[in-house]
Structure 1
Amino acid sequence: MSETGTAQGGITNGRADVELRLPADSAYASVLRTTTAGLAARLDFTIDDIEDLRIAVGEANAMVLPEADLGSDLTCEFFLAPGELRIAVGVTSAEAPAPDYDSFAWQVLSTLATTATAESRDGRFVVTMTMQSTAGGPGL
């Protein structure tokens, strides 16, 4: 993260509350989904919201992994707020692909998340999503 408060992939509003770095390999998708579910549970998300997040993060993973440079890492940044979880999943990608908004993965992700964006910039391909809890509790 730079000193200006901008994290990798253009996420702003300060440092991520949790950052996970894994090999860019689909074998680690379950680690990403489990971490997401644990953080959402900490924010008092409903079981249905947690399952939607698990699926959405899996689809984000499916979008970015094919674009990853050989031997690179997948990074996932989690920004926690009461009743809201913002997640940025990204990889280093020298070819900087254009996001495929017609893909099945994007359709599922954008349907499940409250908001979703995909961005290819500065040698990184990042999918960012925000999910708001339907529980209405205080969280954190």
Structure 2
Amino acid sequence: MKRDILTLTFPAKAQYVLPLRLYISGVATRMDFAVDAIEDIKTAVSEACVLLLSDVTGGDMRICLEAGDNELEADFCLERPRYAGEAAAENSTELSQMILEAMAKDCRITENDGRNTRIVMTFSKGSMG
């Protein structure tokens, strides 16, 4: 099975979340995901960005998409992040993680020093979350 790989890097700032949602939903549309599945993907993208960017004041976010025949994998990774202060509250992290697990077929969150630094999600045309 051939998989296309698309990579995007942008400043780790909340103002780029909307264009990122549009970019990923465009890829999912091209892959013929159902409208409801695309809405789930857009919600998951927003939650992933909330988890990763909540206390970041600099650095970059790299998004790597792998588009297969029936699956889309999205790998969100902070590169050289600078942090404003304390790590995000655990309750908000748990809620966002529950939302991601409900929206994606598979979700893996990586932490470094108590902060979320990478999120990999897989979305499938056949079965969501």
TM-score range, shorter chain: 0.7 to 0.9
| Corresponding residue for residue 83 of structure 1 | 70
Deviations 1:42-99 (A, max 9, x none): 111000111100000110111011253x32011111001001000011213478x7xx
Aligned to 1:19, the other structure's residue is in SS state: strand
**What is the 5 A alignment of 1:31-42?**
31-42=19-30
Q: Determine if contact 2:58/2:82 at 8 Å carries over to the other structure.
A: no
Task: Among all aligned residue pairs of Structure 1 and Structure 2, give the percentage whose two residues are the same amino acid.
Answer: 25
Q: State which of 98, 105, 109 in structure 2 corresponds to 1:107.
A: 98
RMSD: 2.8
C-alpha separation in 2, matches of 1:103 and 1:16: 32
Which is richer in strand? 2
In structure 2, distance between residues paired with 1:114 and 1:55? 14
Unaligned runs of 5+ residues in structure 1 are 1-14, 136-140
Specify which of 1, 13, 29 is matched with residue 17 of structure 2: 29
Q: Of 117, 126, 129, which residue of structure 2 is paired with 1:134?
A: 126
In structure 1, how many angstroms separate the alpha carbons of the residues matched to 2:55 and 2:123?
24
Distance verdict in 2 for CA 1:119–1:77, change over 3 Å: same
* Runs of at least 5 residues in structure 2 that lack an aligned partner in the other structure: none
Q: Normalized against structure 2, the TM-score is what?
A: 0.79
1:28–1:94 CA distance, 2 compared to 1 (3 A): closer
Per the alignment, residue 116 of structure 1 pairs with 107
Quote how far apart the aligned CAs of 1:16 are. 6.9
Paired with 2:69 and 2:125, the residues of 1 have a C-alpha distance of 9
Preserved CA contact (<8 Å) 1:89 1:127: yes
